[in-house]
Chains A and B, each alone.
Chain A
Amino acid sequence: RKEVEQDPGPFNVPEGATVAFNCTYSNSASQSFFWYRQDCRKEPKLLMSVYSSGNEDGRFTAQLNRASQYISLLIRDSKLSDSATYLCVVPHRSNDYKLSFGAGTTVTVRA
């Protein structure tokens, strides 16, 4: 099983819509989870850190389900500028110096 798995998408949504997608992880001992967004040909930028059951920052909500080992990201009231690839990142099972990246979920918000 891969360390981190994500639905690659793409998720094509109209402006103003809500979009949500999941990330499953194999490291059951992980205490921290991160969502990064990456625009085309740019660096990943930290969007949100999750250390407990979830986190909310404006239109973005992350929910952690430890029993099923997945974390979701929900974007409300989508903006055109939310179009990006969203990377789920979890500390590696064998060495938490290492971060395991999911392959990313592509979101495209259309006008």
Chain B
Amino acid sequence: AQSVTQPDIHITVSEGASLELRCNYSYGATPYLFWYVQSPGQGLQLLLKYFSGDTLVQGIKGFEAEFKRSQSSFNLRKPSVHWSDAAEYFCAVGAIPGTGRRALTFGSGTRLQVQP
């Protein structure tokens, strides 16, 4: 069964500092991986996705993520955090046709707080 682990429930960084949010997955094949962001009381917005090819993926709002097969990780990074980045971030692993699982599986989320 596929699963996603986000080890950090809550992270606080200073504005302008770099950010890395961790995501580890468990899946029997090459996964399709996603990062979403959610502002309070809102739906989820896609930041970026990895399907295949280049393991460093660029997304919106200056975010990037790196797929590391050897570590089963897909960590999200941003070189300089802005106050508007304060939100909850979710990592998700996608379904593969033929597996019977046809919906994304989400991690429990990491809440990011940005200090001025």
Co-complex (A, B): no
Q: Which A residues are closer than 8 A to B by beta carbons?
A: none
Q: Which B residues are closer than 8 A to A by beta carbons?
A: none
